[in-house]
Amino acid sequence: MFTGIITHRGTVRRIARGGDTRIEIATEANFGPFPMGASIACSGVCLTVVAFGTDWFALDASAETLSKTTVGAWREGTPVNLERALRVGDELGGHFVLGHVDGVAEVVARRSEGDSLRFTVAAPAALARFIAPKGSVVLDGVSLTVNEVDRTHFGINVIPHTAAVTTLGAAEPGARWNLEIDPLARYVARLADAGIGSVPGA
**Domain end marker among 57, 84, 111:** 84
- Whether 15 shows a pLDDT value over 60: the answer reads yes
Verify that 178 and 137 share a domain, yes or no: yes
What does the alpha-carbon distance between residue 174 and residue 36 come to, in Å, rounded to a whole number? Answer: 36
> Which of 21-30, 120-129, 179-188 has the least mean pLDDT?
179-188
Verify that 132 and 162 share a domain, yes or no: yes
pLDDT band for position 201 (cuts 50, 70, 90) = very low
**Domain end marker among 84, 119, 137:** 84
Q: Is there a domain that residue 201 lies in?
A: no
Is the pTM for the entire model greater than 0.85? yes
Report the length, in residues, of the chain.
202
Verify that 184 and 132 share a domain, yes or no: yes
Region of residue 143 (left: phi > 0; alpha: psi -120 to 50; beta: else): beta
Residue 161: what are its φ and ψ, rounded to 5°?
Answer: -60, -50
Kindly state the average pLDDT of the residues 134-142: 96
- Residue 160 sits in a domain whose CATH number is 2.40.30.20
What does the alpha-carbon distance between residue 144 and residue 122 come to, in Å, rounded to a whole number? Answer: 15
Kindly state the average pLDDT of the residues 78-86: 93
Highest mean pLDDT among 6-20, 74-88, 163-177: 163-177
Verify that 18 and 45 share a domain, yes or no: yes
The domain in which residue 60 lies consists of 8-84
Q: How many domains does the chain have?
A: 2
